[in-house]
């Protein structure tokens, strides 16, 4: 007999942000990775990655402008 499938629940925006930030830094625990694989959807990762990259690039641009002015 097969067990009934539980509905997948989506990760919260904070969980997605933590997963993307840890991916940017390169630090990840196996348990957190396995939990995130189940809860985070690819669309959430793409959106959070684009937002994170935009924040990183804009903060670097602002830092360079501040230093050089």
Q: Where are the domains of the chain?
A: 13-68
Distance, CA of 63 to CA of 32 (rounded, Å): 32
pLDDT of 37 reads 85
pLDDT of 53 reads 92
Distance, CA of 26 to CA of 48 (rounded, Å): 16
CA distances to 2, 38, 52, 58, 67 from 63, rounded to whole Å, are 57, 37, 16, 9, 6
Dump pLDDT digits (tens) for 17-67: 998 888 888 888 888 888 888 899 999 999 999 999 999 999 999 999 999
pLDDT of 2 reads 63
pTM value? 0.73
Distance, CA of 44 to CA of 60 (rounded, Å): 24
Distance, CA of 15 to CA of 32 (rounded, Å): 10
pLDDT for residue 1 is more than 70: no
């Amino acid at each position: 007999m097969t067990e009934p499938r539980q509905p997948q629940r989506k990760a919260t925006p904070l969980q997605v942000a933590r997963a993307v930030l840890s991916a940017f830094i390169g630090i990840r625990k196996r348990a957190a990775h396995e939990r995130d694989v189940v809860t985070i959807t690819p669309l959430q990762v793409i959106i959070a990655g684009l937002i994170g990259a935009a924040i990183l690039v804009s903060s670097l641009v602002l830092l360079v402008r501040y230093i050089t002015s």
